[in-house]
Amino acid sequence: MSRGTVSINAENIMPVIKQWLYSDKDIFARELISNGCDAIKKYRWLVGNGKAEGDDAPDRIDVITDKEKGTLTFIDNGIGMTEYEIVKYIAQVAFSGATDFITKYTEESKGEGAGIIGHFGLGFYSAFMVSDKVVIDSKSYDGSPAVRWTSEDGMEYEIEPSDRTERGTAITLYIDDADKDFLNLWTLRETLEKHCAFMPVPIYVTEVKKPEEPKEGEEKKEEKEPEEPKPINDIHPLWMKRPNECTDEEYREFYRKVFHDFEEPLFWIHLNAEYPFNLKGILYFPRIKNEFTASEGVIKLYNNQVFVADNIKEVIPEFLLLLKGCVDCPDLPLNVSRSFLQNDGYVKKMAAYITRKVADRLVSEFNTKREDYQRYWDDIHPFVKYGCIKDEKFYERVKGALIYKTTAGEYVTLDEYLNKNCADGEDKVVYYASDEKRQAQMIQLYNDQGKDVILLDTLIDNNFISFLEYSEREQKVSFKRVDAAADSLTEDGEISEDARKKLEGLFRKVMNDDQVDVQLKPFKDDALIAMITVDEQNRRFTEMSSRWGGPDMKLPEKRTLVLNDKHPLVKWLQDADEGEKTETVCAQVADLAEMARQPLVADRMVDFLRRSNQLLTELIEK
C-alpha cells in the first residue's frame, strides 16, 4: 500500500469544488458517467486502430445503489487505468486524461479523438460533493494488475492492489448523511434521466436488495432469475439522424418523450451543421395556449450527447427560448463544470446560425404552405414579433413572412394590406383594433368605408408596431387604432368656429374634463352622432407608462370628442339654450361615444343608466 497527497496548484480545492465549481449536487452523476463513456470510447478507438485486442463484451455503464451499505457505484467496461495512470489523472488534478489521450494519438486518429467527451480530472472530484469516501477499482486493458485508490477527503489517498478481475473501472461512493436521497432508486433514476438521457453508451440502473427471509413456518421461496434491466438512456437521439431519415411521427414522439407535452407541436426545425462548427439539434414550435405560457419554452443544450444545461442564452438567442428543443454542440468551449460558456467566437456563430435557420424555415413555411402557416400564426406570432424586435437580422429575413389577421378573419402581409387599403398618393396608414368586441362599432365604421382593420391584441403589439414604424420609416408607414383618428370617417366641410366653441364649453362641463378637445366634422355615416378619439402616440406612451410604472404612473390621455355636424341632434345642440335638458343630452352623447371605445367606469355607468331611464320615461310621457 502506498499513500500520497493530491497534487494541485491551489489550496483547499475541495471546498471550492463543493461550493462553487458545481452549482447543483446532482451534477456528480453526469460527470462520473461521462467519464465512463470516455473510457469506453478510448478503448473502442484503440481496438479499432489495432492498438488493443477486442472482445465481445457489449459497451455498458452500470449504476448500482446499495442502501444497506450506503454506497453508489458507477462501473464501466472501458480502457481502465494502471497505477501510474491513476496517480497521473486522479492524484494530479491539473492533468486531463481525455486531453492527454487525444494529444497522444492526434496524428494517428485524424480527428477521431474529438468524440471524447470530457476531462477525467476535476469532473471526477465532483463525487466528493456527496460522499464521505470514494474508492476507485480499475484494471487496465493492457493486463497490468488491478489497482484500488481510496480517499476520504479528495486530498489524501491510499493506493493498493484491487481484486477487480474485469477490464474497466468501478467508482464507489460512500454517500454522506446529507445526501442519502441519491440512494433512493426513484431519485437516482430521475437524476440520471435528467443528465444522461442521451449519452452514447447504454446505462443500466439496479438496486441491491436484501434477500427476504421466510416467515416462521413458511418455506423459502425459490429465487427467480432477475430480469435484465433496460437502459435508461437513448444512445441514438433523433437529432443525430439526418433529417431525411426521420418521419413526422418520430419527431412528434421525441417531443412527447423529452418534454412530456402531449399537445402536438406546430412544426419543427432539424439543425444539422458540420462546418464551420459541428451542431445538431431539433427545435419545436409549441402551441401557445395563452400569452403567459409563451415564456415556458425549454431548449436543452448538450455536448456530445451529455446534458449541459437548459436555456443558455449565449448559445440560444433569448427570443428563441420561447421554443422547445435539443441542441448538441460538441464544439462548445465549456469550463470544467460544463455549466458556463467561456467567451468564444464559435458561440456567436452558432447563435447566428440557429437564428438564420429558424428565419429561413418560417419563410419557407409561408412561401410553400401558406394555408398551414396561417392556421398556426396565432400561436407563433408573439415569438416571431419578439424575435424581430430583438434581432434586426432576424427581422430582415422574416419580414416578408409577417402576416396580420383582419377582423374579417383574413391574413395579409403588410404590403398586401397597403396595396388594398391605401390609394396612390394617400398616407400609408394601417388601421387596427386591440379589442375586437369593445371596438366593434368603430371597426364597422371603417369596414363601411372599405377599410380593413387588423387585430393587434397581444401585450407585445404596442412595442411591435412602434418597431415597425421605425423600421419602415422610409415607406412612412404608420399604425393607428380605430379610435385614434376620425379623418378617414369624415368629409371636408365648412364648420362654424363659434358653434364649435359653444359645444366645447358644454361638453367640457358635463364630462368634467377641461382638457378634452371638441371638433365639428361632417361624418360619412349620417347615423353616427359622435366619437371619441385618442392621439395614437400619446395613448401608446400612456399605456407603456401604466404597464411598467404601475397605476401611479398612468398619464392623462389626449382625447378629442368629434361631433357629426350633419346629425340633427348635433345641429339642435348648436342652437339650443344652455340648461338641464341640453346638459342631459350632451352627457348622453358623450357617454355613448365613450362606450363605443371602452366600458364606462362604475360611477359613470350608474349615471348613464339613470339618465337613460329618465330619457325613456320622458319619451313615453309625451
CATH at 252:
3.30.230.80
Co-location of 417 and 456 in the same domain? yes
The answer to whether the beta carbons of residues 408 and 451 sit under 8 Å apart is no
Confidence of residue 226 (pLDDT cuts 50, 70, 90): low
Instruction: Give the range among 192-201, 505-514, 547-556 with minimum mean pLDDT.
Output: 547-556
415: in domain:
yes
Better-predicted residue by pLDDT, 435 or 72 = 72
Is 60 a residue whose pLDDT tops 80? Answer: yes
The answer to whether the beta carbons of residues 518 and 561 sit under 8 Å apart is yes
Mean pLDDT of 175-201: 94
Give the pLDDT confidence score for residue 4 in this predicted structure.
63
Confidence of residue 100 (pLDDT cuts 50, 70, 90): low
391: in domain:
no
CA max distance for the chain = 117
Co-location of 259 and 174 in the same domain? no
Q: What share of the chain is helix, strand, coil (3-state, %, to 5)?
A: 45, 20, 35
Co-location of 475 and 510 in the same domain? no
Q: Give counts: helices (H), strands (E), the chain.
A: 20, 21
36: in domain:
yes
542: in domain:
no
Give the pLDDT confidence score for residue 362 in this predicted structure.
95
Co-location of 141 and 276 in the same domain? no
Co-location of 151 and 257 in the same domain? no
Co-location of 12 and 93 in the same domain? yes
- Residues near 370 by beta carbon (within 8 Å), at least 6 away in sequence: none
Co-location of 27 and 82 in the same domain? yes
Give the pLDDT confidence score for residue 222 in this predicted structure.
64
| Residue position matching grid coordinates 491539473 | 94
What is the chain's mean pLDDT, rounded?
84
Give the pLDDT confidence score for residue 338 in this predicted structure.
41
Co-location of 476 and 591 in the same domain? no
pTM of the model: 0.77
Domain boundary (295, 320, 354) is at 354
Give the pLDDT confidence score for residue 14 in this predicted structure.
54
In sign, the C-alpha dihedral spanning 16, 19, 20, 24 is positive
Give the pLDDT confidence score for residue 572 in this predicted structure.
92
Co-location of 30 and 147 in the same domain? yes
Give the pLDDT confidence score for residue 143 in this predicted structure.
92
110-119, 165-174, 297-306, 476-485: range with highest mean pLDDT: 165-174
Give the pLDDT confidence score for residue 218 in this predicted structure.
66
Domain that holds residue 408: 402-482
> What are the phi and psi torsion angles at 180 (to 5°)?
-65, -20
Confidence of residue 119 (pLDDT cuts 50, 70, 90): very low
Looking at the 3D structure of the chain, how many domains does it have? 4
Q: What is the CATH number of the domain that holds 594?
A: 1.20.120.790
Co-location of 139 and 79 in the same domain? yes
Helix (H, G, I), strand (E, B) or coil at 455: strand
Better-predicted residue by pLDDT, 220 or 377 = 377
Domain boundary (482, 515, 545) is at 482
517: in domain:
yes
- Any idea what DSSP says for residue 129? G
H or E element in which residue 325 lies: strand 324-328
Bridge-based pairing of strands 517-521 and 559-564 is parallel
Is 539 a residue whose pLDDT tops 70? Answer: yes
Domain boundary (297, 321, 354) is at 354
434: in domain:
yes
Is 409 a residue whose pLDDT tops 70? Answer: yes
228: in domain:
no
473: in domain:
yes
Is 345 a residue whose pLDDT tops 80? Answer: no
Co-location of 184 and 244 in the same domain? no
Co-location of 414 and 527 in the same domain? no
Is 7 a residue whose pLDDT tops 70? Answer: no
**How big is the chain, counted in residues?**
622
Q: What is the CATH number of the domain that holds 453?
A: 3.40.50.11260
Instruction: Give the range among 31-40, 79-88, 295-304 with minimum mean pLDDT.
Output: 295-304
Instruction: Give the range among 12-16, 166-170, 214-218, 264-268 with minimum mean pLDDT.
Output: 12-16
pLDDT digits (tens, 9 = 90+) for 455-492: 999 888 989 999 999 998 888 999 999 988 787 788 87
Q: What is the CATH number of the domain that holds 30?
A: 3.30.565.10
